[in-house]
Structure formats: C-alpha cells, structure tokens
Structure 1
Amino acid sequence: MRCPFCNAPESRVVDSRTSRDGRAIRRRRECLACRERFTTYERVEEFRPMVVKKDGRREELDRRKMVEGILKACEKRPISVDQVEAFVSELEKEIQDRGDREVPSRFLGERIMARLREWDDVAYVRFASVYKQFKDLGEFMDQLQELLRRDEERGEPVEGEAHGE
C-alpha cells in the first residue's frame, strides 16, 4: 500500500477493525518513511455491475466516484464521512441484491438525491444542480421553491424567518 503523502511503498498497520456494516475492514496505517498516518478499507471484491449513462455509455460502478460526488455536495454541511460511507455501502448492497448486470445512472442519482434530501437541503440542491443539469435559473428556482413548500407543509421555519412568529 503506497503512502498517499510521500508515495513510499511500505507501511505498517497500527489498528484494524471491522466496519459498522461488517462488509469491510478498516485499517489505520503508518508510513515507514514519513510517519504520516492514513486509513484504508479492505473489502471483498464483488461483481461490479455496469452503470448505463444518460448518453448510453456504460462504465463499471465506481464506489469512489459515488462517495466523492456525495462528499462534494456535503462540503461544509453537518454530514459525516461515516454517514456517506454507510449510505454508499447500503446502496451497493441494494444493487447487489437486485442482481442486475446493468444499472441506469438515473437509479443511482435518484437514490442519492432522496438520501441527501433527508439529510440536508443544501447538500441536496448542490447535488441536484449538477445531476439534473438545470438549463437556466428558472429551473433552479423551481427546485428551491419546491423545497420551501415542503418545509412549510412540515411546519419547519424557512431560513431567514424569525422563530415563533
């Protein structure tokens, strides 16, 4: 395992434990050259279905891309990396359980947006703005209006409103 800091080939395992979902081993490592510490995850290699993109291209399902996309949307939001990792594991398991050799990108995008909507409206809007590729400001504003209506229906205060009024 190469060190992500200095690219040295040797490291030692400092700590090892099973992940919460039991599908991976989390290993804390220390580089023997620069002494920096980093975390790796060991998973059983499973069959990877192909993701069918909007334009018909196919590419292998990539966990790393899903995690990075979600984390980008959740930047500076109260959502932990552990929450994202657990959700992506759950999503991978759902896909494995379906047994499909191909998964439409729409399926992944909709599942991710639904979870982000549960977690945080800002993260949801960030992800949706990239995923849905809004054509203009009007489409973006429509999405924001829908979120505001939903919050009002649930009796949640709208950002900027005084509480108790």
Structure 2
Amino acid sequence: MNCPYCGYHDSKVVDSRDVNDGIRRRRQCLRCDSRFTTYERLQPASLFVIKKDERREEFNRNKLLTGIRKACEKRPLPMGTVDKLADDIEAELYRIGKAELPSTTIGDMVMERLKSLDYIAYIRFASVYREFTDITALKQEIDTLVSSEAETPTPTSQLPLLPGEHLGGTVSRQRRDRRRKA
C-alpha cells in the first residue's frame, strides 16, 4: 500500500478492526511516519446487467445510487436511508447468484422498496422507470397507490401521499389562520 502523503511503497499495520463488510486497517508509513486508514472488503464476482436493448454492462452501484438519490431528493428521509437501500438491493442481487440479470429486476427491487419507504420518491422513480408518456399514465399510478394505501395501513414512517391527509385538519386550519391575518 503506497503512502498517500509521500508515496512510499511500504507501511506497517498499527490496528485492524472488523467493520460491516470488511476490515479497517490503520497503517503507518515507514518513511514519513504518517498514519492513514485503508479498508478491505470482499470483491464479489462480476454481475452484468442486461439492458432493454439487450446490451450487457457491468453492474454499477453508483448508477443505482444516483437513480435512488434523484427520486429521494428533497424528501425528509433519515440520513443513510438511501445508502442502506442501495446496500440491500446490491446484496440481494448478489444473493440471487446469477452472473447476468435484466435491468427490470433491479428496477422492480427499487420500486418495491421505495413504495414502502416514501410514496413521492416512488412516484418520481416510477415516472422515469415506467416511462410515463402522458399525465393519464401518471394519474393511474397515483390512483393505484391511493387505493392500495386505503386498503393497507400506512407505515408510521411514511409521509402522506396527498397534502393534508392524516394531519387532522392542520393544513386547513393554517390556511384559515393565514386568510384571517390578510
């Protein structure tokens, strides 16, 4: 391991610890005595994604993260939620054990998890993934979501799909108060 400070090729390990998915090592350069941290983790076998046009490309975790982050942008989700979601999906993809998977498998996994996490993020992702061509298709997806929400209890972490729902009239009360002040 080359020292990031002086570039020297030799270092000694000062401390090693197990972390979630690998080993964290504190190293000390044998030339300049600077300390730095390295992480080792198992590199799983290559996984290829079969795109809609039948092209194959290597699975790219950053691409997965970018798509999820765009869908969750400006949503009040706890820190680390998006990374954990990507970690879970990536782990499941490798658990499947196939060398090649269709992109639809990944998209469906993202949709399933976003639906239980945040409805707005789910709709944002669905609008790109399902390639809605008009407002009617988008409305149908929202209607399906609203009807499924009515049938099953909404998780407490889930924000309401439509403004004012589950807020006990708070929004309408705030509007009345603003009108009175004006």
Report deviation, 1:144.
Answer: 0.8
- CA radius of gyration, larger in: 2
Q: Which residue of 2 aligns with 1:87?
A: 85
Residue by residue over 1:46-86, the C-alpha shift from the partner in whole angstroms, topping out at 9 and shown as x without a partner, is 21211001111111000111011101110111224522222
Structure 1 contact 50–59 (Cα < 8 Å) conserved: yes
SS of equivalent to 1:146: helix
- Flag as ranges the 4+ runs of structure 1 deviating above 4 A: 16-19, 24-27, 155-158, 161-165
Moved more, 149-158 or 135-144: 149-158
Q: Which residue of 1 aligns with 2:112?
A: 114
Unaligned runs of 5+ in 1: 1-8, 28-39
Indicate how the Cα distance of structure 1 residues 75 and 50 shifts in structure 2: closer, same or farther if over 3 A, else same. Answer: same
SS of equivalent to 1:59: strand
1:133 to 124, 131, 156: 131
Count how many residue pairs are aligned between Structure 1 and Structure 2.
Answer: 139
SS of equivalent to 1:148: helix
Q: TM-score scaled to structure 2, two decimals?
A: 0.65
Q: Which residue of 1 aligns with 2:173?
A: none
Unaligned runs of 5+ in 2: 7-15, 26-37, 155-159, 170-182
Distance 1:161 1:127 in 2: 22
Q: TM-score scaled to structure 1, two decimals?
A: 0.71
Root-mean-square deviation (CA), in Å? 2.8
Q: Percent identity?
A: 41
Determine if the alignment matches structure 1 residue 44 to structure 2 residue 48: no
Give, as a single letter, the amino acid of the residue that structure 2 aligns with 1:95.
Answer: L
Distance 2:24 2:122 in 1: 28
